[in-house]
Amino acid sequence: MADAFVLSHPEQLDRLRAACPEAAPAAVLAGDPCFDRMLAARCHRDRFRRALGVHDGQRLVVLNSTWNPDSLFGDGGAEDLLPALLPRLVSELPLDEYRLAAVLHPNIWQGHGPGQVRAWTDRARRAGLALVDPLEGWRQAVIAADVVIGDFGSVSYYAAALGTPVLVGTASHHTLDEDSPVAAFVREAPRLDAYGPLEKQLATVIASHRPLRGPAEFTTSAPGESAALLRRAFYELAGLDEPTGPALLDPLPLPPYEPRVCTAPVRVVTRVAANGVSVTRYADPRHEPDGASGYVHTAVHEDTLDPGVLSHADVIHRQGPGDDPRLEGPEAWAVRTLARFPHCSVAAYVTGPTECVVRTRDGVTLRLTGEPGGGDPTAWVSALHGARAEGRTARELVATGLVVVTGSAAHTVSVSPPR
Amino acid sequence: MTRAGFGWLRVPVGDEAVRWATRGLCRRVLFVVHNVTSATRLLDVLPLFRDDFRVQLLATCTGSSPFQGGVGELLAAVGVPVLPWEQALDTPVDLAISASLGGQLHSLRGKLAVLSHGIGYNKRLATPEAGSRKPEAGSRKPEAGSRKPEAGSRKPEAGSRKPEAGLRAFA
């Protein structure tokens, strides 16, 4: 039927010959242009991570699903995993140690409607899930990932081909040709226990990861060469001489900056230790975190869905430019917020990725300034609140600064009177 | 009712395109879209034709995929002329490029290259798309007379769809 049947690996030619011998003469081996664009963009992994607001020491977990009822997102497999798994992922993984992004097949978006996909994921997004654009952003997110929770779809396979650990979330794959490399991958890849402890499984798969040979081998037999091979084939078919310049695919663009914004209530455990103030935060947790070893408080974004939560928040914060003409300025906003919510101990206005203005109940206004990639300013605010709760004075903190410890990362934050 | 009345393009292809086109001698490369997923793979390779004044890029959508959402917006954003599927079947092209096997690709008038839109070819044939293709066949009849050489070759659609099923089975 086709004059050129483009294959990315000779393995496909064997199966084509077996299944449809009359099509085999049209086969053209020309690699994989999608994967080539990913390979060419790997050098930009750090900026793709920063585009998603991933901090130093933070791990990016990409949740990936192909379409159809058997997929991770589907409700037709042996179990409907996602409705329970998604809230656990957003609330059980400590907020500062993990960033969660979802890459969903365009057929989920277009089959059910983008508005429906957003509605299904509303709570998760308010807890900070990044819903990645299925056309423009998914490859950058996959390149940026530390680990993928996926299924039998191509995106998970591409991730594995890049050498990224993949936990397969669903075993169903009966739409696949059993002889295909993807079916082999699903059989061999480590499996997610959706009811087991999630953080432990993610940490284990990252630490013990040894890339499977299949995905790297079978994704393309001509890495980096698809542009030249395809242009040659296309021009030959069209009856034109090829242009003399090199055949090049477009570089993947840098996605817009989309840091994690969590408007869901956050439970925070802080502990003042010799090396700094450790902060462990959980977004919208179902269970009270283990606070035995520290001081537990609640931090809430001013734009949280249920404003009633603000009345028992210990910390209230908002984000935006400090000179937003709609608001009265960071310090005046903080004064007003503390007056409005008598339970609130600290009001913080995050004015940029590395700075915020904080006002405490006892009338002290401070400016916190960190390093780029040095964690989320709202974590610094909780560290400050935890330190004050354990007796540190504002004067001491201005003198010494704050070291905010989240997981294995320690971020230095300077504390100063406002300008 | 003219064909333009059915949304057919009049430039750069169409009955009197030669009157309206500024560069009417270009080779025609037609991107055959099935849905947003297959379109993204075609967008990967579309830039291979950059800077070539000898080529006019065109796009069409088979209408055979159940996933039609977002296709119109995506093609509008790509900004190449979009032919209604009926016009695409009626328009000789030098090369048609598709990233899926659904629809009546065999009825296109030109060389055809087919890419996969995921990792190679892994799926067994699940649900045939044949049902959604029927309306197209009917609506094409009024034009059949004016396209003598090709009209004959398009008739045995039902029969010639089988190899496609075979390919998907392999895939």
Q: Could you tell me if A192 and A286 lie in one domain?
A: no
The whole-angstrom separation of Cα B127 and Cα B111 is 27
Nearest to A5 among B47, B95, B114 (CB): B114
The residue in chain B having the minimum alpha-carbon distance to the alpha carbon of residue A23 is B167
Instruction: For an interface test with B, give the residue of A240, A242, A249, A252 to mutate (most B CBs within 10 A).
Output: A240
For the segment A348-352, the average pLDDT, to the nearest whole number, is 97
Q: Could you tell me if A70 and A210 lie in one domain?
A: yes
- pLDDT tens digits, one per residue of A58-108: 999 999 999 999 999 999 988 899 999 999 999 999 999 999 999 999 999
Last residue of a domain, one of A184, A219, A254: A219
Domain presence at residue A24:
no
Structural domain boundaries enclosing A373:
266-416
Place of tokens 């016009």: B87
Domain presence at residue A2:
no
Nearest to A247 among B40, B48, B119 (CB): B48
CB atoms within 10 A of CB A197: 12
Number of structural domains chain A divides into: 2
Residues of B in contact with A33 (CB under 8 A): 41, 44-45, 115
Q: Could you tell me if A276 and A394 lie in one domain?
A: yes
Residues of B in contact with A104 (CB under 8 A): none
**Residues A347 and A337 sit within 8 Å (Cβ to Cβ):** yes
Coarse DSSP helix, strand, coil percentages of chain B, rounded to the nearest 5 percent: 45, 15, 40
The whole-angstrom separation of Cα A417 and Cα A398 is 8
Q: Could you tell me if A391 and A330 lie in one domain?
A: yes
Q: Which two tokens stand for residue A319?
A: 């984000």
Chain A contact present for B112, CB below 8 A:
yes
Q: Could you tell me if A391 and A270 lie in one domain?
A: yes
The whole-angstrom separation of Cα A248 and Cα A153 is 27
Q: Could you tell me if A306 and A398 lie in one domain?
A: yes
Q: What percent of chain B has pLDDT over 70?
A: 69
- Report pLDDT for B2: 57
Q: Which residue ranges make up each domain of chain B? A: 3-170
Chain A contact present for B129, CB below 8 A:
no
- pLDDT tens digits, one per residue of A243-273: 999 999 999 999 999 999 999 999 999 999 9
Q: Is A292 exposed, middle or buried (0-12, 13-18, 19+ CB in 10 A)?
A: exposed
Q: Could you tell me if A286 and A186 lie in one domain?
A: no
Can you name the CATH fold of B3-170?
A: Rossmann fold (3.40.50)
Confidence band (pLDDT; 50, 70, 90) for B132? very low
Q: What is the CATH number of the domain that holds A191?
A: 3.40.50
Instruction: For an interface test with B, give the residue of A32, A110, A112, A142 to mutate (most B CBs within 10 A).
Output: A110
DSSP state, residue B166: H
Q: Which long-range contacts (CB under 8 A, 24 or more apart) does B9-12 make?
A: B9/B81, B9/B82, B9/B83, B9/B84, B9/B87, B11/B81, B12/B56, B12/B58, B12/B81
Confidence band (pLDDT; 50, 70, 90) for A135? very high
- pLDDT tens digits, one per residue of A275-303: 899 999 999 998 888 777 799 999 999 99
Chain A contact present for B48, CB below 8 A:
yes
